[in-house]
Chain A
Amino acid sequence: MTGFHVNLGLHFARPYESQYAMVRRCLIANPGISLSKINAALKNEENRSRTIVERLRDKQLTDSTDHSIKGLSDTYRRQCPECARRLFHTDAYALPWLTRCPIHHCEFTSICPQCQQSWPGLKELSTRDCAVCGCKPLKELHEDALTCPENLNIVPIQDIYDFMQPVDSVLEPHLYTYNYFDYLPEFFSLPGCRRADCTSELFTACQSYCHPEFNKKKLKSLNISTVALRHQTSSLYQCVDGEKNTKHKALYYNARYKWNYRVMKRIIRWICSRTADKHKLHLYDYSTISLRWMTQEPLPCPYCLALSIWFLYMMKSLYAPLSNCQRPLKSFLTESNYKYFYPVGEPCILTKNNGFVYSDKRFSGWYYRRCLEIAFIDIMSYVDDLLYRLKRIKYEPKLMTPYSGRGTRVIKLYRPYLPQKYDKYALNIFNDKMVFFYKYENPLEDYVPEKTGRVTNQCKAFNTSLIKNYTFRGVLVPNIIYGIIESYRKFDIKFYEHMNNIFKEDHYQS
């Protein structure tokens, strides 16, 4: 195919326009030529494998910048009708916290008001016969689209992009990473530091904190919505790679004991609010219990089960023999494909010279306790769903095929949990302090399991079955809510001995 010159529609170019707007003006400037033909003509000039957007982008004037926003796709689906009439669109319109067009202050729509169809994608643009969303001749375009770019007030868009810029810091550029407090077996490969991106509802509150020039009035004028966020700040300590990590464990070891106690108290209080008075909370070692066994025996209490998994997970690094033997929870957890525990650690910063920057002890402690609480929610959500599926197997005969059949497939197909909503946070460095933004002060107070209701005395049947089949009992959790840490310490020792005995038995058997 012979090539031809492709007009770019430069006259309609505006600052901060999206790639969609760039393609649209190119189509307007080349009437009667489809996008595929334009792509073929551009490809004729340079035989490289690239998209049409990339080729068009290269041909733009040198002072044009790519203002696409990472994490957003198909941004054309949400547009301002007035901007669309003027051939303008920017990726910022897809940001969920931008409630209205900052230029015209009209609502974003997913449908063109003129032709009542969804905003066209790139492939439909050339065939859409609409003055607002399509590609029409010059005389049918809005007069503002034809006039100079300066006539469209882009200043609010510029403000929004300025608002999204990271705050300058002596530590920039850097990476947010995660310092895990415990060694985790390879089985538990965890995702990295999850930080709220610009599409998150937390982002705006985080940015407005770090951009004092964007006060409430200005945010309102730009139609930027914010959510009420809490924040914690922390001083930063820079260390050579690995040095603080070692000190961290030593320094915080005793402190962690107290922190664990505080969190466990809170968890037990929460469990007690959802169980009958006669319910006896037990901790079990579920590491030897298989999924098959669970389908055939009475179902465990979801709260005991969740607490047990959480306790073992939280405490395992404190039980030296257990951590040394790297005893994975290989039974029903792995069988049900539950791989990801919520990581317990603290956010830290990897600087460009491979140094680590840590938070102070106060923040570390606060964050550690928070992680434990969210880890329990994560585990409780898993248990909530697991037992629901197990119940289905038990009470729906058609699913009760032999073990090797469909029965447990209902559970095995279950995917790992994604981070919970409580996990969303935003991190920033501001005035050489780390600022951590979050929504829920006490995640557990807001959490309600979807399927598990109030439990009365489910433990008894399960406990009986466990005693019958296994040689150990669970450890009764004392009522430590109103007690002191000493009672917790005694209980911890008791559980330690209990687990130690199990380890010895395993060791002898192997």
Chain B
Amino acid sequence: MPQVKLDYYDHPVFSPQELHFETNAMDHLCNELHRWLWNGITGGLVYGHARDGKTKAVLAMIDRLFTRGAVQVPVYYVSTPPRDRRVILTIFRQLCWKHDLRVKDRDPADILAERFVNFVADNAKKTACQNAVLIVDEMQRLHVGQFDAFSEIYDKLQLLKINLMVVFVGNDPACWRIINHIERPGYAHIRGRFFTQGVAFNGLLNKQDVTRCLDQYDTLRFPDHGSTYTNFFLPEHVEQGWKLATLSGDVWRIFRVYQKHYKLTSWGMQYFTSTINTLLTDFLPRYGVDSIDDEMIHEAIRISGLVPSLVRPLK
């Protein structure tokens, strides 16, 4: 196998899209989705603050959902784009585009819906699984009338005896506007079908969460049989037995200052990884692990953007 020459900046730490950590929140989400799936629930809402890692978490669920009989459930993901005209056709177009189905300008909504439904039906046959999960991200961008598109898909799949569960993912508090709208009497069919269940998705909530993430820096490798993430950037210190996870207490302690001051519910994963990446790739290689102090961690948190994102009215 030819050796691919890797550039230093090919490391996942420098690419947020490729950096992925398992968190307790993801485990909780996985358990909840399985509970919904195994109990025949047809839909639910996953809500959380911006940058908490919801999208990454649901994307990680694509190959993790199984039926009670340990048959993998096909999962479909679509993200609602921001549009000035929010119509049902947009939903079907997005579903077809996302899954490489043919979309032409003149294709009406029902045709596109049929194509997507048949696509799901084909996969159900291939996987021998009569369940399907559709994840709709950025649901706060939807117009209330667009939910009928998902009802239509649900009904069509019911004709084929395929059980669809639609999981909406939305930002807190933006999603509540539309949830409140759905609670009106005229939308009982939507509410009853898709919004009887909800699960909050949080970032890192405690020191244990932080420790688990930092442990992954010490265990994940790049490339596959290469150095650990920590070793990649701090080889001399790792050889001496140093681990990034030893910083978990200090890192969490410093974050707690911001959490109390700005009344944050959790540490969003984007800000957390940005903080740790700054430490790992910049500060620690430059100044050494022995020079770690509170000031360094404060600076890393400041660089992560956690502070500017708090420029909003406090409750």
Q: What residues of chain A have their CB less than 8 Å away from a CB belonging to chain B? A: 4-5, 7-11, 13, 28-33, 37, 41, 61, 137-139, 146-148
- In angstroms, Cα B121 to Cα A44, docked, is 23
B100 & A32 in contact (Cβ 8 Å cutoff): no
- In angstroms, Cα B156 to Cα A163, docked, is 39
Q: Which secondary structure dominates where chain B touches chain A?
A: helix
**A33: nearest residue on chain B (CB-CB)?**
B102
**A148: nearest residue on chain B (CB-CB)?**
B161
**A7: nearest residue on chain B (CB-CB)?**
B118
- In angstroms, Cα B110 to Cα A32, docked, is 10
- In angstroms, Cα B107 to Cα A147, docked, is 27
B122 within 8 A of A: yes
A11 & B125 in contact (Cβ 8 Å cutoff): yes
A139 & B118 in contact (Cβ 8 Å cutoff): no
- In angstroms, Cα B114 to Cα A28, docked, is 9
B111 within 8 A of A: yes
Q: What are 27 A-B contacts with C-beta separation under 8 Å?
A: A5-B99, A5-B100, A5-B101, A7-B101, A7-B115, A7-B118, A7-B121, A9-B121, A10-B122, A10-B125, A11-B121, A11-B124, A11-B125, A13-B125, A30-B102, A30-B115, A31-B115, A31-B118, A32-B115, A41-B102, A138-B117, A138-B159, A139-B156, A146-B159, A146-B160, A146-B161, A147-B161
- In angstroms, Cα B114 to Cα A30, docked, is 8
A31 & B121 in contact (Cβ 8 Å cutoff): no
B160 & A138 in contact (Cβ 8 Å cutoff): yes
- Give chain A nearest CB distance to B303 CB in angstroms: 42
* Complex contacts, B126 vs chain A, CB 8 Å: 10, 61
* Complex contacts, B121 vs chain A, CB 8 Å: 7, 9-11, 29
* Complex contacts, A37 vs chain B, CB 8 Å: 102
Query: For the side of the interface on B, what is the size category?
Result: 20 to 34
- In angstroms, Cα B119 to Cα A139, docked, is 16
Q: Which of B111, B125, B160 is close to A31, meaning CB atoms less than 8 Å apart? A: B111
B111 & A138 in contact (Cβ 8 Å cutoff): no
- In angstroms, Cα B161 to Cα A33, docked, is 25
- Give chain B nearest CB distance to A479 CB in angstroms: 77
B118 & A30 in contact (Cβ 8 Å cutoff): yes
* Complex contacts, B125 vs chain A, CB 8 Å: 10-11, 13, 61
Pick the most buried of A7, A10, A33: most chain B CB atoms within 10 A of its CB: A7
- In angstroms, Cα B118 to Cα A9, docked, is 7
10 closest A-B pairs by CB: A10-B125, A29-B118, A4-B102, A11-B121, A5-B100, A32-B111, A7-B118, A31-B114, A10-B122, A31-B111
* Complex contacts, A147 vs chain B, CB 8 Å: 161
Q: What residues of chain B have their CB less than 8 Å away from a CB belonging to chain A? A: 99-102, 107, 110-111, 114-115, 117-119, 121-122, 124-126, 156, 159-161
**B106: nearest residue on chain A (CB-CB)?**
A32
- Give chain A nearest CB distance to B248 CB in angstroms: 45
How many A-B residue pairs have C-beta atoms within 8 angstroms? Tell me: 64
Q: Which secondary structure dominates where chain A touches chain B?
A: loop
Given contacts A30-B115, A146-B159, A146-B160, 10 further A-B contacts (CB under 8 A): A4-B101, A5-B101, A9-B118, A11-B124, A11-B160, A13-B125, A29-B115, A30-B118, A33-B102, A138-B159
Q: Which of A28, A29, A137 is close to B110, meaning CB atoms less than 8 Å apart? A: A137
**A149: nearest residue on chain B (CB-CB)?**
B125
Q: Which of B122, B156, B159 is close to A29, meaning CB atoms less than 8 Å apart? A: B122
- In angstroms, Cα B100 to Cα A504, docked, is 85
**B99: nearest residue on chain A (CB-CB)?**
A5
- Give chain A nearest CB distance to B292 CB in angstroms: 51
A7 & B119 in contact (Cβ 8 Å cutoff): yes
A5 & B119 in contact (Cβ 8 Å cutoff): yes
* Complex contacts, B114 vs chain A, CB 8 Å: 31, 137-138
* Complex contacts, B100 vs chain A, CB 8 Å: 4-5
* Complex contacts, B117 vs chain A, CB 8 Å: 138
- In angstroms, Cα B16 to Cα A188, docked, is 82
**A8: nearest residue on chain B (CB-CB)?**
B122
- In angstroms, Cα B314 to Cα A191, docked, is 96
* Complex contacts, A139 vs chain B, CB 8 Å: 156, 159
* Complex contacts, A137 vs chain B, CB 8 Å: 110, 114
* Complex contacts, B101 vs chain A, CB 8 Å: 4-5, 7
